[in-house]
Structure 1
Amino acid sequence: MISSAPISRRTLLAGAGLSLGVLASGVLTSCAPGPGTSSATGTTTKLRITLGWISNVEFGGYFIADARGYYAEEGLEIEFLPGGANAPSASQSLAAGNADIGLSPSMSDTIVAAAKGNDLKILGAVFQDSPGGIVSLTKKPITTPQKLASAKVLGQTGTQPYLDAILELADLPPATYDFVPAGFDPSPLVDGQGDAYTCYVTNQPTTLEAKFGLVKGKDYVTVTYSELGLPSYADVIVTTGAFAKANEETIVKFLRASIRGWQDNVSDPTIAAKLCVEKYGADLGLDLDQQIRQNELQIPLLQSDFTATHGLLNMDTELLTAKMLPAMKAAGQEPVPADVDGIVDLSYITKAYNGASTL
């Protein structure tokens, strides 16, 4: 089992990827280098990729693409810049010129930051369904907005706006649930201190399984905020408009290799887990069994009906505008643009797939 620190931040970011983080507070002053600054030596181009969190299996597809030489085949040399509780966000790293591409856990923070005038472009998304959600025991499953409305919810301060938004979008009275502040360990749920616990459905459930021997479906159930009516993408791929404009071919190559890595990850969840434990996160003390289980839980969230026909990492801009932007507004995000034109640019991933849905 991994330490509580990664769990804590992931929990704080929970909320269908609709974080109320400081990134959206204003325009980020860009110190980013001009077009073409991604260093090239011979035929190899170096790309700096800033991760939205520590080097664990959440970024497994990228690690597979690196370890299996998919980036090298595209003439790319990748430098991964791990994040952490006190690390700069992807948007901040991009604005400071410390990274070329960022992997941002919160789609909504990125959209709001772009709407405030920051030069940000979203190129794709790993999670088609954000892992933010709720876990409850099967003896009293909390799996619908109606059940949530009357539940005693154990959660982290700051998650209430998302719970309220779920009820609002379901035309239910807000704040009818009983909210009990809780830490980052789901043990109080097992102890009967509440009916539900806010979590990342890919993370805290692994604690329930390892610590208490609970079995998903038999002893506990999870539901994402998206399934409760508050949809969002998560772990979006971000760059600056200036870098994207000047480095189209490089970005297409990066996406093409990354897609191959994520396809491999879907096929076998053990590959990335071993890479994280033995190489990319070797200094973090990660547990192999936990990393495999986390990957097993996250793989279904990487796929959707849309990716079945359009490929992994792709995004449905119609769904984003029709459903996700209203969800952001209901959760208190400001400003929320009328649409994502100029913010989400899928032309690069379209070129990476070149008419196919798999690579």
Structure 2
Amino acid sequence: MTPITMTRRTFGGLSALLLAGLAGCGRENPGSGGSSEVTYQLSWTHSVQFGGTYIAQDRGLFEDLTVRLAAGGPNVAGDANTVSGAALMNISSADGVARSNAEGADLVIIGAQYQKSPATILSLADAPLREPQDLIGKQIGVAGTDTPGLTAFLTVNGLGQSDVQFVPSQYDPAILTAGQVDGIFCFYNDLPVALAVQGIEGHSMLLADFGYNPMSQTYTVLRSSLEDERKRAQILRLVRGDARGWQAYRDDPQGAAELTVRMHPDAGLDLPTQLRQAEVQLDIMFSELTDQFGFAWFTDEQVAENLKLFDLLGIEGADERLWDRSILDEVYQNGPTA
């Protein structure tokens, strides 16, 4: 499957950016012996969520690339930045990329940092929600943008929106700790960590363990970039360096957390939270599959599962061509270590 032909946040404004020129995503530095500067767009604000990437940058693992790491956030449209040429590659999600392409983009997913979606239902330990049937009759806090995902999760598990009371949430755990809801839709390596650091014990029900596993933290590029010799070579070095960084992260998540805080002193990060998050996200980033094939690997079966989820999410027009595993094939041509 090379390419496949049979593998949080905001994507608004893409249609307008489709008219922008594709300049600036991989600028050559004159007189630098072939080195080049590229922008790698992250999916959210700086934190140890991107710890492996920081290691790659800190240790020079991107080979002769000069990599600018652009922080994401609620007002950053990562896919649109790649479409416009502001970034060579961005971190996204399969459903987000599919929506972007439905609006006219031609983006391709070439890897997935997360083996499991971080989407979770967080409840308190003294009243845990352990499986989908436990949600019946309960109040679940959910942000408006996450409502389609929670609805799809219920459908996958034979439940309907009428079985659960959706309570509008601003992604704030206070409504859970105050007893206003029984659970809250959030991310496994985010709000559960925040509560744990405060000494509040919670229970996380990963939706991926119950049939809802949209591919997350995807390496996303323009199809035309894969077809351009120079840009493809840059993408290869970018992904290979990133994979090496994440391999090092797995060996020393504490070091990754410390590096994150040191590299981003203005990001408002505290070390205890970063340390716990660094450990927690190992659960969703590495698996038997990555041990066998390499970090960020994905399978035909995962692709098929995601296409079924797209139907539930009302996303039209996507097929197997949304994914291309050829870069990963090159990164791991000699085995599962980059």
Q: Tell me the TM-score normalized by structure 2.
A: 0.89
- Asked whether the 8 Å contact 2:122–2:186 carries over to 1, the reply is yes
Counterpart residue number, 2:37: 46
Contact 2:27-2:36 at 8 Å conserved across structures: no
Q: State the distance in 2 between where 1:270 and 1:222 align.
A: 22
Once the two structures are TM-superposed, the CA of residue 150 in structure 1 deviates from its matched residue by 2.5
- What SS does structure 2 have at the residue aligned with 1:98? coil
Aligned to 1:335: 316
* 1:140 paired to 2:127: yes
Q: Secondary structure at the match of 1:166?
A: helix
Q: Secondary structure at the match of 2:145?
A: coil
Number of residue equivalences = 328
Secondary structure (helix, strand or coil) at the match of 1:124 reads: strand
SS at match of 1:348: helix
Task: Say yes or no: does 1:83 pair with 2:67.
Answer: no
Of 260, 269, 273, 2:253 maps to 269
The correspondence for 2:23, drawn from 21, 33, 40, is 33
Distance 2:25 2:124 in 1: 52
- Give the aligned partner of residue 310 of structure 1: 293
* 2:40–2:70 contact (8 Å) kept in structure 1: yes
Q: Which residue of 2 aligns with 1:243?
A: 225
| Secondary structure, counterpart of 2:210 in structure 1 | coil
User: Structure 2: any 5+ residue segments left out of the alignment?
Assistant: 1-7
Q: What do the CA deviations read for 1:84-108 (whole angstroms, capped 9, x no partner)?
A: 2222x2211112221111122x221
Q: Give runs of aligned pairs for residues 85-234 of structure 1, distance below 5 A.
A: 85-87=74-76, 89-104=77-92, 106-211=93-198, 213-214=199-200, 219-234=201-216
Matches of 2:160 and 2:167, distance apart in 1: 18
Secondary structure of the corresponding residue to residue 103 of structure 1: strand
Measured in 1, the distance between the counterparts of 2:146 and 2:106 equals 28
Separation (CA, whole Å) in 1 of partners of 2:115 and 2:141: 26
Secondary structure class of the residue paired with 1:62: helix
Q: 2:243 aligns with which of 240, 244, 259?
A: 259
RMSD across aligned C-alpha pairs, in angstroms? 2.2
Judged with a 3 Å threshold, the aligned counterparts in structure 2 of structure 1 residues 25 and 142 are, in CA distance, closer, same or farther, namely farther
Deviation of the 1:111 alpha carbon: 2.0
Q: Which moved more, 1:345-354 or 1:24-33?
A: 24-33
2: CA distance, partners of 1:187 / 1:152: 14
Matched, 1:286 2:269: yes
Q: Which SS does the other structure have where 1:202 is aligned?
A: coil
Does 2:48 match 1:67? no
The separation in 2 between residues aligned to 1:183 and 1:84, in whole angstroms, is 15
Structure-1 residue corresponding to 2:48: 57
Gaps of 5+ in 1: 1-12, 14-18
> Structure 1 residues 149, 24: closer, same or farther in 2, change over 3 A?
farther
1:36 to partner: Cα distance = 6.7
Deviation at 1:119, TM superposition (A): 2.1
- The secondary structure found in structure 2 opposite 1:226 is helix
Which residue, out of 309, 313, 328, partners 1:349?
328
Q: Which residue of structure 2 aligns with residue 358 of structure 1?
A: 337
Alignment partner of 2:162: what SS? coil
Alpha-carbon deviations, 1:205-264, whole Å to 9, x = none?
1221223x12xxxx4210222123211121111111222221222222222111110011
The answer to whether the 8 A contact 1:143-1:228 is kept is no
Deviations 1:273-314 (A, max 9, x none): 1222111x2211211111111111111110123212111111
Match of 2:5 in 1: none
Identity of aligned residues (%): 28
Which is further off, 52-61 or 152-161? 152-161
* Aligned amino acid, residue 187 of structure 2: Y
Distance 1:233 1:38, change over 3 A: farther
CA distance 1:30–1:348, change in 2 (3 Å): farther
Deviations 1:22-52 (A, max 9, x none): 3677983342139974546313222211111
TM-score computed with the length of structure 1 as normaliser = 0.84
- Deviation for aligned residue 1:194: 1.8
